[in-house]
């Protein structure tokens, strides 16, 4: 059996880093971890190939080679998924689809032969058995959330690693909180499940064996959702790093209550965590309460960010405007918070009602739901009727993006962020996002010669060298990322 695994294309978003990747000579930020895991669940005797449309195009010969095609998709990939399925079906191929979009979609799905709803650790082996006896069903739905002990080590070698900026692994699924707008708790549940320590170390061994060195994204939606197990993992992870010459720099996502646990912060620093994405959402307490995000109201958010930065971790964060409780000055308040928090990479989006979330159900009940979300909350589109005037909301959102990614604003935050991070254990330059003179030369040429904001870049460059020489690689990575976000912000005004 010949299996073609296809990852549909992502649009240009916060997480695509599309305008920053050329500086590093890469095509995509991360490989499709879900498909690499699906591959590992298939019989070893089956042949498999991976086509990631974010790094290369899909050829007719790729489709013709396959006996069966497997596709997965996030909501933002749904248009590309439809195109892929149509091409494969036109060539008479059996098509299997699954993933978050398929699991939560309220629209009609592409015409696939087999549809997987939920996590596949138990249903995919069942499908293989049914296939062998000629009785494969169209729909497979997981009866319960599977234990992650069933999850195999992903087939990392299936991906063309040299085309990616970072690798991905997963430690847990689920989150203990109940944020109204979040679909994670709908898909993965509110009881975080984790892999064993040995599983995680085995996956890192496998990744190390591929020759990968550098950034590893632990893709959990809340890495500290199960603090008890995380505390057991981190010392072993730190020891693994020391035994292997600290080959990886970890990036992950966590809830803001990470700042309350200094022991956990210290353990993460020792294990090599250098970046963390937080769901801050808004500095307005009333809006946080509306969103059922009580964990963000227990302390001062600015103090929380500074505490985490002080442990050598760059804070990235998500922000939202469009809550019913947002005051008229929400746009200025968001700008001021982002400025004062020294968060360079701020993902600001319009509130969107994702399929089958608590928010989606509430707005539908209130008659305010307009359409299914595109899955992209930075495209200046609303899928519900907001309390604030819609035009004012969108214009205010655009003003935030234009302000925070204005080069003088952005570079100021980047320098302050580097200053706050304790650099006693800086992110290892030899495995950093920006490595070697070639990448720095590309940045200097693009931002320092051809870019209209080149004067601001050289001011930033000189200060980075003079004040933060030990973190120069970090500063150059932030410069590259800032260019990506400025290009996004400029596109929103078109």
Domain boundaries, the chain: 2-141, 166-404, 429-492
Tokens at 416, concatenated: 């302050």
Helix (H, G, I), strand (E, B) or coil at 254: strand
Give the separation between CA 339 and CA 333, rounded to whole angstroms: 10
Q: Residue 230 has what pLDDT?
A: 98
- Whether residue 95 contacts residue 3, with contact meaning beta carbons closer than 8 Å, is answered with no
380-423 pLDDT, tens digit per residue, is 899 999 999 999 999 999 999 999 999 999 999 999 999 999 75
**Res 429: pLDDT:** 44
CA pair distance 228, 33, nearest whole angstrom: 25
Which residues lie closer than 8 Å to 479 by C-beta, 6 or more apart?
411, 414, 443, 447, 457, 460, 461
Q: pTM for the full model?
A: 0.95
If you ran DSSP here, which 8-state letter would residue 428 be given?
P
| 3-class secondary structure, 114 | strand
Class of domain 2-141: alpha beta
Q: Identify the DSSP state of 346.
A: E
The pLDDT of residue 379: 84
In the chain, the largest separation of any two C-alpha atoms, in whole Å, equals: 69
Cβ distance 181 to 218 under 8 Å?
no
> For residue 488, which of 372, 393, 402 has the smallest C-alpha distance?
402
Architecture (CATH level 2) of domain 166-404: Alpha-Beta Barrel (3.20)
Q: From CA 441, how far away is CA 285, in angstroms rounded? A: 45
Q: What is the pLDDT of residue 492?
A: 66
The stretches in the chain having pLDDT less than 50 are 426, 429, 432-434, 494
| Residues 448, 446: Cα–Cα separation, whole Å | 6
387 close to 358: Cβ distance less than 8 angstroms = no
Residue 9: per-residue pLDDT: 97
Helix (H, G, I), strand (E, B) or coil at 379: coil
Q: Which residues pair with 70 in a beta bridge?
A: 5, 96
Are β-strands 346-350 and 314-321 bridged in parallel, bridged antiparallel, or unpaired?
parallel
In angstroms, the first-to-last Cα distance of the chain is 48
| Distance of alpha carbon 207 from alpha carbon 36, whole angstroms | 12
> Which structure tokens are listed for 489?
């912000």
**Dihedral sign of CA atoms 358, 359, 365, 369 in order:** negative
The bridge status of strand 172-173 relative to strand 193-194 is antiparallel
Q: Going along 214-266, which residue ranges are E strands?
A: 214-218, 248-254
Helices (H), 254-405: 262-271, 285-290, 301-309, 330-341, 358-365, 390-404
Closest CA to 292 of 346, 357, 349: 357
Burial 423-440 (b: 16+ CB within 10 A, else e): eeebbbeebbbbbeeebb
Segment holding 229, helix H or strand E: helix 227-243
State the virtual CA torsion across 412, 417, 418, 423 in degrees, nearest 10: 160
Q: What's the confidence (pLDDT) of residue 447?
A: 96
Q: Give how far the C-alpha of residue 202 lies from the chain's centroid of Cα atoms, to the nearest Å.
A: 23
Residue 376, pLDDT score:
79
């Amino acid at each position: 059996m010949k299996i073609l695994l296809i990852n549909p294309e992502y649009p240009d978003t916060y997480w695509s880093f599309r305008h920053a990747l050329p500086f590093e000579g890469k095509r995509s930020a991360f490989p499709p971890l879900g498909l690499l895991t699906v591959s590992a669940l298939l019989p070893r005797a089956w042949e498999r190939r991976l086509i990631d449309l974010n790094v290369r195009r899909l050829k007719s010969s790729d489709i013709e080679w396959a006996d069966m095609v497997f596709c997965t998709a996030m909501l933002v990939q749904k248009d590309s998924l439809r195109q892929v399925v149509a091409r494969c079906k036109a060539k008479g191929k059996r098509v299997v689809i699954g993933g978050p979009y398929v699991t939560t979609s309220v629209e009609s799905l592409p015409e696939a032969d087999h549809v997987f709803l939920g996590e596949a650790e138990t249903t995919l082996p069942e499908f293989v058995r049914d296939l062998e006896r000629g009785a494969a069903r169209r729909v497979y739905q997981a009866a319960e959330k599977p234990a992650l002990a069933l999850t195999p080590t992903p087939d990392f070698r299936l991906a063309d690693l040299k085309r990616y900026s970072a690798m991905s692994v997963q430690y847990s699924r689920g989150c203990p909180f109940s944020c109204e707008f979040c679909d994670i708790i709908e898909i993965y549940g509110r009881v975080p499940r984790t892999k064993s320590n040995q599983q995680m170390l085995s996956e890192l061994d496998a990744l190390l064996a591929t020759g990968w060195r550098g950034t590893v994204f632990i893709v959990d939606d809340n890495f500290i959702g199960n603090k008890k197990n995380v505390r057991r993992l981190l010392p072993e992870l730190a020891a693994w790093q020391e035994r292997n010459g600290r080959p990886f720099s970890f990036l992950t996502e966590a809830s803001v209550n990470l700042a309350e646990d200094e022991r956990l912060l210290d353990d993460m620093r020792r294990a090599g965590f250098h970046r963390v994405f937080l769901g801050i959402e808004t500095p307005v307490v009333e809006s946080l309460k509306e969103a059922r995000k009580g964990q963000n109201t227990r302390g001062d958010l600015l103090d929380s960010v500074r505490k985490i930065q002080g442990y050598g971790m760059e804070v990235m964060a998500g922000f939202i405007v469009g809550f019913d409780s947002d005051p008229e000055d929400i746009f200025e308040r968001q700008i001021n918070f982002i400025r004062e928090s020294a968060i360079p990479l701020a993902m600001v989006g319009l509130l969107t009602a994702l399929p089958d979330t608590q928010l989606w159900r509430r707005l539908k009940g209130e008659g305010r739901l307009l359409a299914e979300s595109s899955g992209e909350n930075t495209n200046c589109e609303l899928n519900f009727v907001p309390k604030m005037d819609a035009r004012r909301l969108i214009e205010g959102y655009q003003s935030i993006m234009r302000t925070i990614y204005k080069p003088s604003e952005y570079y100021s935050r980047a320098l302050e962020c580097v200053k706050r991070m304790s650099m006693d254990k800086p992110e290892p330059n030899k495995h950093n996002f920006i490595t070697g003179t070639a990448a720095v030369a590309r940045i200097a040429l693009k931002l320092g010669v051809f870019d209209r904001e080149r004067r601001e870049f050289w001011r930033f460059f000189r200060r980075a060298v003079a004040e933060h020489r030990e973190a120069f690689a970090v500063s150059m990575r932030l410069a590259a990322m800032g260019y990506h976000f400025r290009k996004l912000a400029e596109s929103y005004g078109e």
